[in-house]
Amino acid sequence: MHGGILRYLEAEKSTQVCEIAKAIIPVRQMNYQNAVEFLWQHAMFEARPATQYAPQHFSLARMRALLAALGDPQTKFPSVLIAGTKGKGSVAAFTESVLRAGGYRTGLYTSPHLHDVRERFQIERTPISRAGFTEIMQALRPQIERFPAITFFEITTAIAFEYFAREKVDLAVIEVGLGGRLDATNVLQPQVCAITALSYDHVELLGSTLDKIAAEKCGIIKAGVPLVCAPQPPAAMQVVEQTARQCGAALCLVGRDWHYKRLSVTRTGQNCAVGRSAALAAEYELPLLGAHQVENAAVAVAIAAELRKAGWQLDDAAVAAGLRTVVWPARCELVPGSPPYILDCAHNGESAMRLRAAIREHFPGQPYVLLFGAMQDKDISGMFDNLLPDAQAVVLTHAANPRSLQPEALSAMAAPYARPVSTAATVPEALRHAAALAGPQALVLVTGSVALVGEARTALGFTGKE
């Protein structure tokens, strides 16, 4: 019975279903399925529009109270905290890989997940076990129930902190969820903070101008804690510099204090140089595609340097090995075959522009069929402006997520681009149709949302355990 509820919850995540689940999930002893069901009962911005949860209604007080009831696990391990609009997950993956290559027992907390919620909580890049997840959820449940308005992300953040504290990680790399100032992760006192590329996303919550968005992201800056920052547009950079100065945080700016340059590209990776200057730059191999990943790697190298200043042992060999061996699925991920697939989590205009550039650079002259689906609150026009001009055909579909826009609505938005457009009711159906359109000569580019790409990876035989 509970398995059916779980599948329904994952598809619908409706308030009514959640109330039904609350009534029938056993109060005392949990198993894995009802532990997941209990988690899905709580407000999840990834699955429902969050406009009713404007920033003025957020507060860290509830998160601090929950963690205090758990014995403040967030104080029991060192951390790196990474915010940004684009690239924060990639920087987190690069940083964790460097630390692990240096011999440290690492924690990694990221969101959203592609296949399984347990992907969000990893130690040495292994997701938490079902038994471990269930045990922690069972322990947290009495405290969680004290806070009726608590959110999905607040709970997952508490799970991550409790897990990392229990397992005594040497250092945890934590990706901010939404914004920064009021994000549940911002209860940490990290060793290093980082802000990746800023652009327009979640504007209904964070603000409609880059300076307002930057102000929210800069909420993670802490007095005396070094800040590594990616290159930013002028309006955002001004806010970063001013906030760092006011907080007394030493600012390390990639592009100014750290030089980086792309050296070469192939279909499966690229080489770059990163250093304090062009003359001092070391060469690195990256398995992730796109010029933006060179920037992300440079941010990770700068984070490693700041950690070294604080006494962490990370030599040049560990940095090179970590960058070379990083695994970060669905970021311009090539799945070989006939046709080959490119899977990417681009979900706004800026990320679509970066994806287009990566396709042109790593697969020059190769046509592609675009398989696309997106959430209702995203900049679909911005994504279409960047992706449709190069597409030979378009297949539109939707993920099993309540925020997904129906393919018929997407079709109307795609009409002005004068590309052959078809729709599919499910992601597996869309993959079959796109493959037939691509034939042996073209790529199939799958993008538009994390949920869509996760379903596509599952349909292609991936499980999240690769």
Of residues 209 and 330, more confidently modeled = 330
Q: CATH code at 340?
A: 3.90.190.20
Q: What confidence tens digit (pLDDT) does each residue in 43-72 have?
A: 665 555 544 445 445 679 999 999 999 999
What total of structural domains would you count in the chain? 3
So what's the pLDDT on residue 77? 98
**Is residue 94 a part of any domain in this protein?**
yes
So what's the pLDDT on residue 207? 56
Contact 415, 340 (CB under 8 A): no
Q: CATH code at 67?
A: 3.40.1190.10
238 and 165 in one domain? Answer: yes
Give the CA count within 13 Å in the CB-facing half-sphere of 289: 24
169 and 78 in one domain? Answer: yes
Domain termination site, one of 277, 308, 325: 325
* Amino acid sitting at position 129: S
Contact 326, 287 (CB under 8 A): yes
Has residue 412 got a pLDDT over 90?
yes
**Is residue 465 a part of any domain in this protein?**
no
Write the DSSP assignment of 62-131 as a string of letters.
HHHHHHHHTT-GGGSS-EEEEE-SBSHHHHHHHHHHHHHHTT--EEEE-SS-SS-GGGGEEETTEEPPHH
450 and 426 in one domain? Answer: yes
Q: What confidence tier does 168 reach under pLDDT thresholds 50, 70, 90?
A: very high
Question: How far is the first Cα of the chain from the last one, in angstroms, to the nearest whole number?
Answer: 30
Q: What confidence tier does 15 reach under pLDDT thresholds 50, 70, 90?
A: very low
**Is residue 129 a part of any domain in this protein?**
yes
**Lowest-confidence range among 59-63, 133-137, 435-439?**
59-63
29 and 80 in one domain? Answer: no
Give me the mean pLDDT over the 339-365 stretch: 94
61 and 36 in one domain? Answer: no
**Is residue 391 a part of any domain in this protein?**
yes
- Token pair, residue 420, equals 């052959």
Has residue 446 got a pLDDT over 70?
yes
Q: Domain limits at 394?
A: 333-459
361 and 220 in one domain? Answer: no
So what's the pLDDT on residue 5? 34
**Lowest-confidence range among 24-38, 135-149, 292-306, 369-383?**
24-38
186 and 109 in one domain? Answer: yes
298 and 209 in one domain? Answer: yes
Domain termination site, one of 280, 300, 325: 325
- Residue 272 CB-density burial (10 A; 0-12 exposed, 13-18 middle, 19+ buried): buried
Has residue 143 got a pLDDT over 90?
yes
Reading across the β-sheet that carries 270-275, which strands appear in turn?
A: 259-265, 270-275, 282-286
Write the DSSP assignment of 196-221 as a string of letters.
-B--S-SHHHH-SSHHHHHHHHGGG-
**Is residue 339 a part of any domain in this protein?**
yes
**Is residue 49 a part of any domain in this protein?**
no
Alpha-carbon span 228 to 253, nearest angstrom: 6
260 and 124 in one domain? Answer: yes
163 and 225 in one domain? Answer: yes
Q: What confidence tier does 403 reach under pLDDT thresholds 50, 70, 90?
A: confident
So what's the pLDDT on residue 144? 94
Alpha-carbon span 332 to 188, nearest angstrom: 31
Q: What confidence tens digit (pLDDT) does each residue in 231-260 have?
A: 999 999 999 999 999 999 999 999 999 999
66 and 32 in one domain? Answer: no
Q: What confidence tier does 402 reach under pLDDT thresholds 50, 70, 90?
A: confident
**Is residue 237 a part of any domain in this protein?**
yes
**Is residue 111 a part of any domain in this protein?**
yes
Domain termination site, one of 325, 344, 376: 325
So what's the pLDDT on residue 2? 40
Note if the pTM is more than 0.95: no
Task: Report CA-CA distances (Å) from 195 to 10, 94, 152, 176, 232.
Answer: 31, 14, 24, 10, 10
Output helix, strand, coil percentages for the chain, rounded to the nearest 5.
45, 15, 40
So what's the pLDDT on residue 32? 95
157 and 129 in one domain? Answer: yes
Give me the mean pLDDT over the 93-109 stretch: 98
